[in-house]
Chains A and B, each alone.
Chain A
Amino acid sequence: MAAAMPLALLVLLLLGRKGWCLAEPPRDSLREELVITPLPSGDVAATFQFRTRWDSELQREGGLSVLLKADRLFHTSYHSQAVHIRPVCRNARCTSISWELRQTLSVVFDAFITGQGKKDWSLFRMFSRTLTEPCPLASESRVYVDITNYNQDNETLEVNPPPTTTYQDVILGTRKIYAIYDLLDTAMINNSRNLNIQLKWKRPPENEAPPVPFLHAQRYVSGYGLQKGELSTLLYNTHPYRAFPVLLLDTVPWYLRLYVHTLTITSKGKENKPSYIHYQPAQDRLQPHLLEMLIQLPANSVTKVSIQFERALLKWTEYTPDPNHGFYVSPSVLSALVPSVVAAKPVDWEESPLFNSLFPVSDGSNYFVRLYTEPLLVNLPTPDFSMPYNVICLTCTVVAVCYGSFYNLLTRTFHIEEPRTGGLAKRLANLIRRARGVPPL
């Protein structure tokens, strides 16, 4: 958070100061919220968002930021931090704008480690802190907990303390139910002097297959040896009845020489012809391969996109300091409009919770997803950059030098040549004899 501040300030200075110093700006509010979502894998994701118009105070005491303790946040499976700044209209006619600063921090807690093998969690277990008071500056300070039941009965999980209100929304095409804990609600904290939200699974969701997203992907290198290989991308469409197109973008470094004629796309055992292909071949040491395809994914299918490549030999100065680690191939990027199960209503950005803006909706029946597959690690043929390498170079030089003379010796037959005797006369005589067809002298 501290690092984000100068950055935000810098951006602000660059953008100029129009409209941010009005005579009497309506004092904008600080909104903060924490969304806690259990993930299909059993882990728990927590997303903090702090939004403020620029003229608000940023140094906060209390509120949700008490939970931000480094020693817990860095013992997690994942975290990502972002700062967004954008101009916002102050009124309907947009005569003046102010700047909106939005800071987000997403953390994925490994529930298995923190919960000693159970999927239950509580604020204290995750952050080793509880909430004691709302932020005095905040106009809104809320905690949302995803309590969507995948089983349609209310007996599987229990949140404690029981929420006073719930909020329903369509997130990524499915209906979600959130319990809301408003820290500004005095009853929420005053009862027990602190708020420790807990979630308990009444029946451990063991046998329940975790809900899979409609679109997911996997990527790997196949083959063995250091000459050839194959890049394979598996695209899963788990939607039961809707097919949808996916834009697949691959950039592959030039030292993997792609054989474009080997590009095969199969789904359900049949060849799948992409409706659009853009391929830009690589130039050695200048630009990577660029391959972009629009592929229709049939409903409930796995589509395999594979392309063979040959590993190039680099110049020896082009290897990285750790060549035996392998070379990274960047992830493929998948962009798709995934059909929703539940139609989403257009939302009012100002009224709905902040986290809604994390999931952009294009229209009611689709939602936009951009996925990145895992990066790959590919080994290239690597010389042994140590003493044996020098020895090999030296030996090769010696062999190369010796080779010519040995080859000469082995292929040539030696005859002892008689010293040439006789002068011009004999040569002339021989010429005449040859013309007559008589053996020379």
Chain B
Amino acid sequence: MGLLSDPVRRRALARLVLRLNAPLCVLSYVAGIAWFLALVFPPLTQRTYMSENAMGSTMVEEQFAGGDRARAFARDFAAHRKKSGALPVAWLERTMRSVGLEVYTQSFSRKLPFPDETHERYMVSGTNVYGILRAPRAASTESLVLTVPCGSDSTNSQAVGLLLALAAHFRGQIYWAKDIIFLVTEHDLLGTEAWLEAYHDVNVTGMQSSPLQGRAGAIQAAVALELSSDVVTSLDVAVEGLNGQLPNLDLLNLFQTFCQKGGLLCTLQGKLQPQDWTSLDGPLQGLQTLLLMVLRQASGRPHGSHGLFLRYRVEALTLRGINSFRQYKYDLVAVGKALEGMFRKLNHLLERLHQSFFLYLLPALSRFVSIGLYMPAAGFLLLVLGLKALELWMQLHEAEVGLEEPGGAPGPSVPLPPSQGVGLASLVAPLLISQAMGLALYVLPVLGQHVATQYFPVAEAEAVVLTLLAIYAAGLALPHNTHRVVSTQAPDRGWMALKLVALIYLALQLGCIALTNFSLGFLLATTMVPAAALAKPHGPRTLYAALLVLTSPAATLLGSLFLWRELQEAPLSLAEGWQLFLAALAQGVLEHHTYGALLFPLLSLGLYPCWLLFWNVLFWK
């Protein structure tokens, strides 16, 4: 402390920070990126391990043998669905009752804010069917959920078949301590959201649904199943949920142990896990998986219906059956046995899953990086903003002192208030204008879609996306500051103060985001930090402007799409990329309205205005 309270040493330190600012910033940024890349190497990535005692061993004898039954159920279900063109509610009710469940239905309807062109739906109404297996000698205080989301297309029939066959098998066992809910939802995630909201008797998204007749206490864990073929070559597991929430790592460990036990081939992000972590190949492959996970988590959308459960603190994951061209295939019995094992282990739980990690990154199914090890990467990146802000603060302070010194000792208090007043007053206008632009970006596209469709020959969904882009671009052209009030005494003070505020604003936002959703925070920090640090109204302005545009939130989204497809080994052409970008914008807005995803409001109300401030700094006159 003595170092800072001694004015002489303090001044020396300040001078050091000022002089070495640029190298320190570069060093910190590079360190952040390097730290992130190093996360896939063994000392930083660790083997996963089961923390929950109740699920410690896999000593469960799986007895599920209903493969034929599952296939028969699936065939019947597919036939009935084809005949009725919707979820065959009556057939499902009958079948669930015949396997001995307590069956209930729930109808729901939802008018989307604008037509969803990806899923081709606008006015949605459907029915969820669920059956409850009541545990004997228990008071229905806890339950587990096995859910199958059914979309409008005819996929997932096998999942329904397996669900029914498992229900029939589970019904005959006497060891259940928790009720098990078998849930089939219509309109995939919309149905799941409607059911979850009704189960917890809340209304988050404006869904209209009938109240639930049957409940089974607090849901402890949920597994969502997606299967569209009679045989699978591998099971893919999805963990990323709404707003980047993740289930407890133990649930994933449980799945992995049963995959190993049954000899099933399991993938994460569609990638097999590398065997060899000592050479460079393993970590490189891990890096691909890690980047895919970061991109998916950053998108904040639920990747499977499990993602919606996480809001209610129900640990959940989605299992997807993949049927590729691989030689060796597994039938439904193998998948059913893995599920049976998982449910029996979850049945043993004495407490909610809480022992293991909730915040982690996965470079492979059996490797993880804990929050303590990945946070420094984001910390280093945010340090750049801090250093820059410190530099600006000191420069402003020095300018103040410099102004005062010629005036001399007699009246130090005379010139100070006006200069400060000018500095702050000149900040109000740009801050307000950029925030107003953000608000317009958030509100206008959905609100003004009907006006847009009246005057332009576009559909509603197109109108929303195009309005979004138009407002986004218009934000760049708006005059942000009122030039009259800028003091002539210190021409630099205005932009420096504005940049200082913008830097602190950005650092705070990114810090908060990185705490809740590391992937999003890190991704945005990687792109936005360099341009934000460089922006100033002198020097090669066009270069800075190009850099700033390239790292704006929208451009980051576009770039992420290309990177994502590149990592999935399905590269995009430019036109495809643009189409995907437009679709992603529409999906982002829709997911905010239908599921409560926070990425759209975060970008439009938080980061876009902040970015506009830097744009404003760049074109400061």
A76, A222, A322, A377: the one contacting B350 at CB < 8 Å is A322
Q: Mark B195-239, 1 if CB is under 8 A from A, else 0.
A: 000001110000000000001011000000000000000000000
Complex formed: what's the CA distance from A380 to B142 in Å? 15
A110, A113, A326, A374: the one contacting B352 at CB < 8 Å is A326
State whether the Cβ of A384 lies closer than 8 Å to any Cβ in chain B: yes
State whether the Cβ of B534 lies closer than 8 Å to any Cβ in chain A: no
Nearest chain A CB to B600 CB, angstrom units: 21
Q: Given A112-B171, A222-B201, A232-B201, are A377 and B1 neighbors across the interface (CB < 8 Å)?
A: no
A112, A322, A377, A382: the one contacting B218 at CB < 8 Å is A377
Task: Tell me if A409 and B5 are in contact (CB < 8 A).
Answer: yes
- Across-interface contacts of B215 in A (CB, < 8 A): 218, 220
- Across-interface contacts of B7 in A (CB, < 8 A): 414, 416
State whether the Cβ of A224 lies closer than 8 Å to any Cβ in chain B: yes
State whether the Cβ of B553 lies closer than 8 Å to any Cβ in chain A: no
B10, B100, B139, B355: the one contacting A117 at CB < 8 Å is B100
Q: Mark A75-117, 1 if CB is under 8 A from B, else 0.
A: 1111100000000000000000000000000000010110001
Nearest chain B CB to A375 CB, angstrom units: 5
Interface centre among A41, A377, A378 (most CB of B within 10 A): A377
Of all chain A residues, the one with the shortest Cβ separation from B196 is A224
Interface centre among A79, A110, A224 (most CB of B within 10 A): A224
Complex formed: what's the CA distance from A374 to B132 in Å? 15
Q: Given A76-B136, A224-B312, are A376 and B97 neighbors across the interface (CB < 8 Å)?
A: no
Interface size class of A (residues with CB under 8 A): 35 or more
Of all chain B residues, the one with the shortest Cβ separation from A207 is B94
Complex formed: what's the CA distance from A223 to B204 in Å? 10
Task: Tell me if A376 and B200 are in contact (CB < 8 A).
Answer: no
- Across-interface contacts of B200 in A (CB, < 8 A): 222-224
Complex formed: what's the CA distance from A76 to B4 in Å? 75
Nearest chain A CB to B36 CB, angstrom units: 23
Complex formed: what's the CA distance from A382 to B351 in Å? 12
Q: Given A224-B311, A232-B201, A414-B7, are A117 and B98 neighbors across the interface (CB < 8 Å)?
A: yes
Task: Tell me if A379 and B4 are in contact (CB < 8 A).
Answer: no
Of all chain B residues, the one with the shortest Cβ separation from A42 is B100
- Across-interface contacts of B420 in A (CB, < 8 A): none
A76, A117, A325: the one contacting B351 at CB < 8 Å is A325
Task: Tell me if A325 and B352 are in contact (CB < 8 A).
Answer: yes
- Across-interface contacts of B99 in A (CB, < 8 A): 117
Q: Given A76-B136, A326-B352, are A230 and B201 neighbors across the interface (CB < 8 Å)?
A: yes
Q: Given A324-B354, A374-B141, are A379 and B312 neighbors across the interface (CB < 8 Å)?
A: no
Complex formed: what's the CA distance from A414 to B136 in Å? 74
Task: Tell me if A375 and B141 are in contact (CB < 8 A).
Answer: yes
Task: Tell me if A112 and B100 are in contact (CB < 8 A).
Answer: yes
Q: Mark A216-239, 1 if CB is under 8 A from B, else 0.
A: 001011111000001010000000
State whether the Cβ of A152 lies closer than 8 Å to any Cβ in chain B: no
Instruction: Give the secondary structure class of B's interface.
Output: loop
Q: Mark B69-102, 1 if CB is under 8 A from A, else 0.
A: 0000000000000000000000000100111101
Of all chain A residues, the one with the shortest Cβ separation from B204 is A224
- Across-interface contacts of A326 in B (CB, < 8 A): 218, 352
Task: Tell me if B5 and A414 are in contact (CB < 8 A).
Answer: yes
- Across-interface contacts of B16 in A (CB, < 8 A): none
Of all chain A residues, the one with the shortest Cβ separation from B212 is A220
State whether the Cβ of B473 lies closer than 8 Å to any Cβ in chain A: no
Q: Mark A225-257, 1 if CB is under 8 A from B, else 0.
A: 000001010000000000000000000000000
Complex formed: what's the CA distance from A218 to B354 in Å? 29
Q: Given A414-B7, A416-B7, are A376 and B217 neighbors across the interface (CB < 8 Å)?
A: yes
Complex formed: what's the CA distance from A206 to B7 in Å? 89
Task: Tell me if A377 and B98 are in contact (CB < 8 A).
Answer: no
State whether the Cβ of B280 lies closer than 8 Å to any Cβ in chain A: no
Interface positions of B from 93 to 115, Cβ below 8 Å from A: 94, 97-100, 102
State whether the Cβ of A192 lies closer than 8 Å to any Cβ in chain B: no
- Across-interface contacts of B350 in A (CB, < 8 A): 322, 325
Task: Tell me if A224 and B354 are in contact (CB < 8 A).
Answer: no
Task: Tell me if B352 and A324 are in contact (CB < 8 A).
Answer: yes
- Across-interface contacts of B352 in A (CB, < 8 A): 324-326, 379
Task: Tell me if B141 and A377 are in contact (CB < 8 A).
Answer: yes
Task: Tell me if B217 and A41 are in contact (CB < 8 A).
Answer: no
State whether the Cβ of B174 lies closer than 8 Å to any Cβ in chain A: yes
Complex formed: what's the CA distance from A324 to B98 in Å? 36
Of all chain B residues, the one with the shortest Cβ separation from A226 is B313
Task: Tell me if B218 and A221 are in contact (CB < 8 A).
Answer: yes
B5, B136, B201, B311: the one contacting A110 at CB < 8 Å is B136
State whether the Cβ of B509 lies closer than 8 Å to any Cβ in chain A: no
- Across-interface contacts of A323 in B (CB, < 8 A): 351
State whether the Cβ of A164 lies closer than 8 Å to any Cβ in chain B: no
Interface positions of B from 156 to 202, Cβ below 8 Å from A: 171-172, 174, 200-202
B residues near A (Cβ < 8 Å) are 1, 4-5, 7, 10, 94, 97-100, 102, 134, 136-137, 139-142, 171-172, 174, 200-202, 215, 217-218, 311-313, 350-352, 354-355
12 new A-B contacts at CB < 8 Å, known A375-B139, A382-B354, A409-B4: A117-B98, A117-B100, A206-B94, A220-B215, A223-B200, A232-B201, A325-B350, A374-B217, A376-B218, A377-B218, A378-B218, A414-B10
Provide 5 A-B residue pairs closer than 8 Å at the C-beta atoms, listed in order of the A residue: A76-B137, A206-B97, A224-B312, A376-B218, A414-B7
Top 5 A-B residue pairs of the complex, sorted by shortest distance between their CB atoms: A222-B201, A324-B351, A112-B100, A77-B136, A325-B351
